[in-house]
Amino acid sequence: MGSKLNRLYASVATMCAVGMTHVLMPLPSNHDDVSVKKDDESLPQRISRMGTAEAAPGKTKMDKPNIVIMLADNLGYGDLGCYGGGEIRGMPTPRIDQLAAEGMQFTQFLVEPGSTPSRAALLTGRYSIRSGLSLVVLRGSPNTLQKREITLAEMLNEVGYDTSYLGKWHLGMEAHSQPQNQGFDDFYGILNSTDEAFFVQSMKRAGYTPTESERAYVWKGVQGNKAESVKEYTLDVRRTIDLELADRADTYIRKQAKSKKPFFLFVSWTRPHWPNLPSKDFEGRSHIGDYGDSVMELDYNTGRVLDAIEESGIEDNTIVIWMSDNGPWRTMVWPDGGSAGPFRGELGSAWEGSIRTAGMIRWPRHIKPGKTNGMISIMDFFPTLAQFTGAKIPTDRPIDGIDQSTWLLGKKDTSNREHLLTFIGGDLVAVRWRHYRIYLQDVVQAGNGYIRMGGTQANRLPKNGYPLVFNIEADPREEHDTGPSESWVVGKYMPLVMQYYGSLKKYPNPKPATITDFGER
């Protein structure tokens, strides 16, 4: 790791010496023909649903950039060095900090308040409530990723990409919901979440013998087939799973770099989701225990993926997107959880700390390095990557993601987004408009915790006819309701809400996800 650190400083020095000037590459004007390469019954139907009028300025097949998405799990806004954490928090993150310096780092990267919702939003380009996935999928939930959804992987697959998924999925265990049947050519990882590694022990202690299907596994899958279990996802395997993912990512990148076909690799790290048991080499590395060790391991594994890209000579033609799926899980798992930095809130609630987290994109010679506070949603990558690759976005459904390509490529100075809705289960809970946050329900603390952090165990209360309004720039902890003095904001948010409800008339949502309200079922 010492040599890697040396290389980090060397490359930062080089960047400074040569100056990272912003050179825009022209985007070709024609997109190539889509060749259908797989035998999937639903495919012709899916292609017809994608429409033909959305001819993004694509590229010839040879020119299409490779895409590597790395997704951290439950990493908070305040955890990484480049967001004010890192060494200050006893857990340096040099590789991710370097990536942030080489790319565009978002300080207003907004997600949904949980693993499943954010992943659904990322992969479909839509609010998760539109696919019935606005709560975390637990075993037994009927709400899983359905065939009718068109994923980012399907979209890229259609324009010639090899697609591979490594790591945590959390969009359902049914065969049709699994990654290899949602547009990825292959899959290796876990279908649910890392806390499942604990469950077998807990079941046994309860005197319950889990059935084979109730045990947690590591799975592998090939497109068109049901995934097969590889081994049990035990606590020992939990320690080493991300090293395995990094190994597989390394192998995949080096192999694909020699192919003429562009690739889309999705690395869904299991860290730093509780339980953060580190692998042997990282035990005791941080100052703050398992959580810090795990974040340092996440940083190291990220570095391995970046090294594979660089050493394969494809750095300039590879878009790297690195982000977390939601804010930290904190109160319930302390001290095995992260920090939302200056913001109140954590995974599960609608407070800012739940939905604002780390996000960055690197595309050398196309995207100018720098830090930006423009607003961007995890949904925006769907239409933006379609624009970068010549893929076609579906025209038969609402797409909530906004194409940010003009902003990212420096053709305009400001983000194309200025609002975002936040749902929990079947409810619209909060709305962002510019730097205002408007709450239709109040999120209040329940369970333990010193302050009103919200989180998965919070309560929500209906408001007494008037929403809460917070100015997130003046008041990052959302402690002072400015509704009375800035009630004009209500006039700005209401049309956004009405626009969303208007879309439901033509495109009604499926039944919302619920784990507590079965009245209408």
**Site residues (vs Ca ion, CB under 5 A):** 73-74, 115, 325-326
* Minimum CB–partner distance for residue 141 and Ca ion (Å): 16
**Rounded Cα gap, residues 189 and 267, in angstroms:** 10
Backbone angles phi, psi at 478, to 5 degrees: 50, 60
**Rounded Cα gap, residues 300 and 295, in angstroms:** 9
* Minimum CB–partner distance for residue 117 and Ca ion (Å): 9
Judged by CB, which is closer to Ca ion: 267, or 308?
A: 267
* Minimum CB–partner distance for residue 324 and Ca ion (Å): 8
* Minimum CB–partner distance for residue 424 and Ca ion (Å): 14
**Rounded Cα gap, residues 303 and 282, in angstroms:** 15
Which residue's beta carbon is nearest to the bound Ca ion?
Answer: 115
* Minimum CB–partner distance for residue 94 and Ca ion (Å): 24
If one counts every other C-beta atom within 10 angstroms of the C-beta of residue 45, the result is: 11
Backbone angles phi, psi at 108, to 5 degrees: -135, 55
Judged by CB, which is closer to Ca ion: 114, or 467?
A: 114
* Strand arrangement, sheet containing 419-424: 419-424, 427-433, 436-439, 468-471
Q: Indicate the SS3 state at residue 50.
A: helix
Looking at the DSSP bridge assignments, the partners of residue 459 are: 444
Listed in sequence order, the DSSP H helices in 103-187 are 115-124, 152-158
* Minimum CB–partner distance for residue 73 and Ca ion (Å): 4
Judged by CB, which is closer to Ca ion: 192, or 389?
A: 192
Q: Who's near 138: CB < 8 A, 6+ residues apart?
A: 515
Judged by CB, which is closer to Ca ion: 113, or 401?
A: 113
Question: 99-138 b/e with 16+ CB inside 10 Å = b?
Answer: bbbbbbbbbbbbbbbbbbbbbbbbbbbbbbbbbbbbbbbe
* Minimum CB–partner distance for residue 245 and Ca ion (Å): 16
User: Could you tell me if 112 and 355 are in contact, meaning their C-beta atoms sit under 8 angstroms apart?
Assistant: yes
Judged by CB, which is closer to Ca ion: 73, or 297?
A: 73
Judged by CB, which is closer to Ca ion: 101, or 241?
A: 241
Judged by CB, which is closer to Ca ion: 273, or 397?
A: 273
